[in-house]
Amino acid sequence: MSELDFLLSFAAVLLLGMFCCGRDRRAGWAAMAVYGAMILAVIAAGARVSAGQTIPSALSFSILGQKLAWRMDGLGWFFTMLTAGSAFFASWYAAGEWGRAQKRMKRQHILLALNVLAMILLVNSGDLLSLFIGWELVSWAAFAMMAQKGGPATPAAFRYMIYALAGAMAVFAGIMIVHSITGSFAFDAFAKAVPSLSSGVLWLLFALFAAGLGVKMAIVPFHLWQAPAYSETPGASSAFLNAVSARMGLFALVLVLIKVIGLKTLGGLSLPLVHVSAKTLLMWIAAFTMVIPTFIALMQTDARYLLTWHGIGQGGYMLLGLLVGTGLGAGGGLMHVFNYATYQMALFLAVTAVIHRTGTSDLDRLGGLITRMPWTYVTLLMGIIGLAGLPPMNGFVSKWLIYRSLLDSGAPFLLIMAFVGTLGTILSVYKLIHNIFLGRLRPEHEGIREAPWSMVAPMLALGGIGFLTGWFPGLALDLTDIAQSAIGAPVLAHTLGGVVTPRGALDMIWLVSILLAAIGFGAIVFYLMGNRRYEVDQLNNYAGGHFLSPDVPYQFSHEFYPGLSRVIGPWYRGSIVRLERAIGTFADVAGDLWQGLFRVAWTPLYALFAAVIALFWAVNGGMQ
Amino acid sequence: MTLLADIVLMPLIAFVTGLALVLMARRVRARIERRVGPPVFQPVYDIVKLFTKKTQISHGVMHDLSIVLLLGGYITAEIFLPVPGFDGLAHQGDLLTLIYIMMVPMLGLALGVGSCANPNGSIGISRALTAMLAYDVPLAVAVIGATMTYGTTDLVKIVEIQQAGGVATWGAATMPLLAIGGYLAVHGMFGKEPFEIYIAPAEIATGPMVEMSGKYMGALFVMQCFQLYTIGVLYVTLFLGGGENWPAFLLKVFAVVFVSIAVTNVYGRYRTDKVVRWMWKWPTGIALVGLMLVLARQGA
């Protein structure tokens, strides 16, 4: 048995185990142990994969004369690691009090195991057909996870399913075109055939794959489904979906467009008249994916929606870096996948902890929780520094690499877009932390306690990983190297502290150490010099002549950026919301029509049709 | 050993120069208003006074930590900002790194003000961040255009390239439009009229500073010194050829700050959305034209 077989059988056994005894109080801890074992198996596979070997799986079967197989290469290894790691933290978080407070924890355990199995199958697929099978499995598993709670999640999940099925059809059409040309589903045969394809066929394949696979990662014209679908899912599952599930689309895009078709082909494939290559087109789509969802996030009033919208935006950074394709770009893009998984999961778990204690994630109904939930605050703070891409967290390093690669490849306008996206993120994450933890504590939250350690420990561990890989980014870059060489991108030469390029360097060990030392110096100046300070009550402050008292609720949280929303608000309300509503209405109408087909009493008509067709078939010699 | 000296001396020089810049700003304002202005050591007296005041009100741990983060962030930024004779850690981080380090004190201040639970403070931070989003867009265009021209983000090399041919190779001479757009953004960064929306004493009771007393206020004073210095030096490094020697360097830095201070007193205050619109229209537009010229020249 290879390591991949171990991984698959762990996931399958866990799935069965959760079916049998997922209701048990210890189920969460058991699941956590199995995911931990999976992480060990991934680590064990790392040595072989990094040497350039692929790990085969015993799982394979033939269908219609085509052999389907699964194997693990560097790219699959990287995403398998993220999957197992995210599942580990999600189940750790759910193992204690949070899981016991859930109504249907068994279902969540089952669905998490199912998603992990499906995702491992997808990221280790050996040919186009097994990729498609994995793709469908992941779509349905994610749908089940989103729809589990009912309520507002169901229509969102249904909308996701419409997008996902449409995307899957596009992918399937692409695969069939490839099969009709090469006569096989193998990646190698496809890659070999690419140079001989005409530009018309290549454009068609590019459009089908980019749109079909891009749906799952919610690139810009297809970005509307993800935020409601992910946000309404219960906490730990939602954190898992956000951290890795959304990245499955990125994985498939990288596999098909970058590894198999190749950036060179995409770069040479240019639209007539305007001379825009397929690669440039996709880079601009990625750029808009960075900016538009980020500013939508800025306008959200629910912490979960805000984070999910940022997740969509962060996907743009990853895709952009990977499309640049240099060592810096691909390294930055893949490292961003890793970093994003750490901080987004920490952020989502922190928000879930707030929901667990206060019962809401409405940013207008929280405030001042820093004194009640300090560790959750610390986690959220580490998370937002990572999300905003500021030093000393790891998000800064990957964004720096992406910026650097854009500068080196002479793409200043894309870099401006990336910069604008980051600025929007800073505004939005401050709103997140301010409205939950800063400002005035609401009277009904006076008695709130910190979340239990079973929830706080995984959150802090994730924040700690984010800080460590920010201080020593070489640790994370060692992992991305393996994936990078697997997709044929140049490997990024790096040290433990960062990278040295001829046109500018980054050494995070120096940066973070100096920053910590300077903060220490600042602490000496502040705490030891000057007169003694004394703490006052929260309400003991000055409000322009009005004295605040407990009966005057005054927390500045609703419409946190009024000046800005006066500028970008009309855009948001005008185009985006209306478009979203239009698509929602269209989905509803289509759904009603479809329902009408079988629900309305047209049964005699259907029977008549069936009879006519049967008669036609019989008359035309079907009976012989 | 040199490095250790750099790490100690660079923030110290920045602080002393910053004190002088603050003094200049106050004197200029006084002359415009036909006053004499404060004596030479007034900024020092002010800091000492604030640190030793009896009323030192703290609004909790985050309020205290924000001051620590603020000082730490600016000290770090100074060490990554090369000046004549001192390279510091400029080779371990570049222009992009410096710009991001400069956001750390901003974030620290924002967190501290938020934890004071004063709506005026929160509104101030909301406006300050909006202003940041407004002026950082043209600044980003200018910085990106400059790095495209110089072909590097290494600040030491940027200075070397500009000093290779005297004034003719200064950024302001080779890419005047970017320099103009960048300067307008810098004026916004100083937070002076007409862009002082987040201080706005008459509206929101000085915004972020509303709950700052005693050494909290003193630390903000120190921050202002660092801020004037850092922004001034950054602009000089990018567009005015950096410093050949200390007198020339200081002259340039003071000139950058002086122009901004001199014009600011004749303005009123924009509304927040006006700031965003103005910044995204004029400086960004000018800088974008400059960037296109840079690209056209490189393509030719």
Could you read off the pLDDT of A535-567 as tens digits, one per residue? 777 767 766 566 666 666 677 778 888 888 888
In angstroms, the separation between the Cα of residue B212 and the nearest Cα of chain A is 10
Strands A66-72 and A55-63, how do they pair? Answer: antiparallel
When the pLDDT of each residue in chain B is averaged and rounded to a whole number, the result is: 87
pLDDT of residue A576: 65
When the pLDDT of each residue in chain A is averaged and rounded to a whole number, the result is: 85
What percent of chain B is helix, strand and coil (3-state, nearest 5)? 75, 0, 25
In angstroms, the separation between the Cα of residue A58 and the nearest Cα of chain B is 48
Last residue of a domain, one of A473, A490, A507: A490
Span A301-321, average pLDDT: 91
Whether B281 contacts chain A with CB within 8 A:
no
Q: Does the structure show a pLDDT above 90 at A342?
A: yes
Q: A533 vs B64: CB contact, 8 Å cut-off?
A: yes
Whether A598 contacts chain B with CB within 8 A:
no
Q: With bands split at pLDDT 50, 70 and 90, how would you rate the model's confidence at B85?
A: confident
Q: B271 vs A563: CB contact, 8 Å cut-off?
A: yes
A585 in the same domain as A468: no
- Give the count of Cβ contacts less than 8 A between chain A and B: 259
Q: Does some domain include residue A291?
A: yes
Paired strand residues for B58? A535
Strands A534-535 and B57-58, how do they pair? Answer: parallel
In angstroms, the separation between the Cα of residue B191 and the nearest Cα of chain A is 16
Residue in A511, A531, A548 nearest the CB of B215: A531
Q: B204 vs A544: CB contact, 8 Å cut-off?
A: yes
Q: With bands split at pLDDT 50, 70 and 90, how would you rate the model's confidence at A338?
A: very high
Chain A partners within 8 Å of B79 (Cβ): 514, 518
Query: Which residue blocks in A269-393 are alpha helix, DSSP H?
Result: 278-298, 303-324, 327-358, 374-388
In angstroms, the separation between the Cα of residue B83 and the nearest Cα of chain A is 17
Residue in A504, A534, A562 nearest the CB of B152: A504
Whether B253 contacts chain A with CB within 8 A:
no
Q: Does some domain include residue A592?
A: yes
Do residues A315 and A252 touch, judged by C-beta distance below 8 A? no
In one-letter notation, the amino acid at residue A460 is: L
- For the record, the structure tokens of A151 come out as 């309520």
Q: Does some domain include residue A12?
A: no
User: Quick one: which of B27, B13, B47 has its CA closest to B215?
Assistant: B47
Interface probe, candidates A429, A433, A525, chain B, greatest B C-beta count within 10 A: A525
Q: A390 vs B103: CB contact, 8 Å cut-off?
A: yes
Whether A566 contacts chain B with CB within 8 A:
yes
pLDDT of residue A117: 92
How far apart are the C-alpha atoms of A577 and A579, rounded to whole Å?
A: 5
Interface probe, candidates A557, A559, A561, chain B, greatest B C-beta count within 10 A: A561
Q: Does the structure show a pLDDT above 80 at A593?
A: no
Strands A66-72 and A498-501, how do they pair? Answer: unpaired
Whether B214 contacts chain A with CB within 8 A:
yes
Chain A partners within 8 Å of B153 (Cβ): 404, 407, 503-504
Span A224-243, average pLDDT: 83
Chain B partners within 8 Å of A516 (Cβ): 72
Q: pLDDT tens for residues A462-488?
A: 999 999 999 998 888 888 888 888 888
Which residues of A, range 454-513, sit inside 8 Å of B by Cβ? Answer: 503-507, 510-511
Do residues A105 and A94 touch, judged by C-beta distance below 8 A? yes
A347 in the same domain as A451: yes
Whether A575 contacts chain B with CB within 8 A:
no
Tell me how many domains chain A contains. 2
Q: Does the structure show a pLDDT above 60 at B80?
A: yes
Q: Is A62 helix (H, G, I), strand (E, B) or coil?
A: strand
Segments forming the whole domain that contains residue A324: 273-490
- For the record, the structure tokens of B15 come out as 């602080």
Chain B partners within 8 Å of A423 (Cβ): 132-133, 136-137, 140
In one-letter notation, the amino acid at residue A542 is: Y
Paired strand residues for A56? A71
Q: Does the structure show a pLDDT above 60 at A623?
A: no
Whether A439 contacts chain B with CB within 8 A:
yes
Which residues of B, range 130-159, sit inside 8 Å of A by Cβ? Answer: 130, 132-133, 136-137, 140-141, 144-145, 147-148, 151-154
Q: What is the CA radius of gyration of chain B?
A: 19
- For the record, the structure tokens of A549 come out as 């008292």
Residues B23-60 as b/e (b if ≥16 CB within 10 A, e otherwise) read bbbbbbeeeeeeeeeeeeebbeebbeebbebeebbbbb
User: Quick one: which of A328, A300, A591, A535 has its CA closest to A425?
Assistant: A300
In angstroms, the separation between the Cα of residue A295 and the nearest Cα of chain B is 12
A486 in the same domain as A608: no
Do residues B113 and B121 touch, judged by C-beta distance below 8 A? yes
Chain B partners within 8 Å of A523 (Cβ): 68, 72
Rounded to a whole number, what is the largest CA-CA distance in chain A? 105
Whether B269 contacts chain A with CB within 8 A:
no
Chain B partners within 8 Å of A533 (Cβ): 56-58, 64, 214-215
In angstroms, the separation between the Cα of residue B254 and the nearest Cα of chain A is 26
Query: Which residue blocks in A359-490 are alpha helix, DSSP H?
Result: 374-388, 394-408, 412-437, 453-471, 474-486
Tell me how many domains chain B contains. 1
ipTM of this predicted complex? Answer: 0.92
How far apart are the C-alpha atoms of B247 and A501, rounded to whole Å?
A: 33
Whether A400 contacts chain B with CB within 8 A:
yes
pTM (2 d.p.): 0.90
Length, in residues, of chain B: 300
How far apart are the C-alpha atoms of A479 and A341, rounded to whole Å?
A: 14
What percent of chain A is helix, strand and coil (3-state, nearest 5)? 75, 5, 20
List CB contacts of B239: < 8 A, sequence separation 6 or more: B146, B170, B171, B172, B175, B178, B179, B182, B183
User: Quick one: which of B141, B80, B131 has its CA closest to B106?
Assistant: B131
How far apart are the C-alpha atoms of B172 and B177, rounded to whole Å?
A: 8
Residue in B107, B125, B130 nearest the CB of A563: B130
Q: With bands split at pLDDT 50, 70 and 90, how would you rate the model's confidence at A503?
A: confident
Q: B153 vs A404: CB contact, 8 Å cut-off?
A: yes
Q: What is the CA radius of gyration of chain A?
A: 26
pLDDT of residue A542: 67
Q: A390 vs B95: CB contact, 8 Å cut-off?
A: no
pLDDT of residue A587: 66
Instruction: Name the E strands within chain B.
Output: 57-58
Paired strand residues for A505? A500
Do residues A466 and A342 touch, judged by C-beta distance below 8 A? yes
Paired strand residues for A66? A63
Q: A519 vs B69: CB contact, 8 Å cut-off?
A: yes
- For the record, the structure tokens of A5 come out as 């077989």
Q: Does some domain include residue A600?
A: yes
In one-letter notation, the amino acid at residue A85 is: G
> What sign does the dihedral A344-A347-A348-A349 (CA atoms) show?
positive
In angstroms, the separation between the Cα of residue A528 and the nearest Cα of chain B is 10
The region that residue B152 occupies, defined by phi over 0 for left and psi between -120 and 50 for alpha, beta otherwise, is beta
- Alpha-carbon torsion, ordered B290, B291, B297, B299, to 10 deg: -160
Q: A404 vs B96: CB contact, 8 Å cut-off?
A: yes
How far apart are the C-alpha atoms of B51 and B45, rounded to whole Å?
A: 10
Q: With bands split at pLDDT 50, 70 and 90, how would you rate the model's confidence at A490?
A: confident
Strands A498-501 and A534-535, how do they pair? Answer: unpaired
Interface probe, candidates A291, A399, A416, A524, chain B, greatest B C-beta count within 10 A: A416
In angstroms, the separation between the Cα of residue A360 and the nearest Cα of chain B is 20
A481 in the same domain as A580: no
Give backbone dihedrals phi and psi of A342, rounded to 5 degrees, phi first. Answer: -70, -50
Contacts 24+ apart (CB under 8 A), A153-159: A153/A228, A153/A229, A153/A232, A153/A233, A155/A228, A156/A225, A156/A228, A156/A229, A156/A231, A156/A232, A157/A229, A157/A232, A158/A587, A158/A591, A159/A224, A159/A225, A159/A228, A159/A229, A159/A583, A159/A584, A159/A587
Which residues of B, range 36-95, sit inside 8 Å of A by Cβ? Answer: 50-54, 56-62, 64, 67-73, 75-76, 79-80, 89, 91-95
How far apart are the C-alpha atoms of B82 and B64, rounded to whole Å?
A: 30
Q: B120 vs A539: CB contact, 8 Å cut-off?
A: no
A463 in the same domain as A348: yes
Do residues A321 and A329 touch, judged by C-beta distance below 8 A? yes
Q: With bands split at pLDDT 50, 70 and 90, how would you rate the model's confidence at A118?
A: very high
Find the range with the poorest average confidence among A340-354, A472-486, A596-610. A596-610
pLDDT of residue A527: 83
Interface probe, candidates B101, B109, B289, chain A, greatest A C-beta count within 10 A: B101
Do residues A454 and A339 touch, judged by C-beta distance below 8 A? no
Q: Does some domain include residue A36?
A: no
Segments forming the whole domain that contains residue B153: 2-299
Interface probe, candidates B10, B58, B133, B137, chain A, greatest A C-beta count within 10 A: B133
A480 in the same domain as A572: no
Last residue of a domain, one of A438, A456, A490: A490
In one-letter notation, the amino acid at residue B225 is: C
Paired strand residues for A87? none
Length, in residues, of chain A: 624
pLDDT of residue A184: 83
Q: pLDDT tens for residues B156-205?
A: 888 888 888 888 888 888 888 999 999 999 988 888 878 877 776 666 76
Q: Does some domain include residue A262?
A: no
In one-letter notation, the amino acid at residue A75 is: L
In one-letter notation, the amino acid at residue A286 is: A
Chain A partners within 8 Å of B4 (Cβ): none
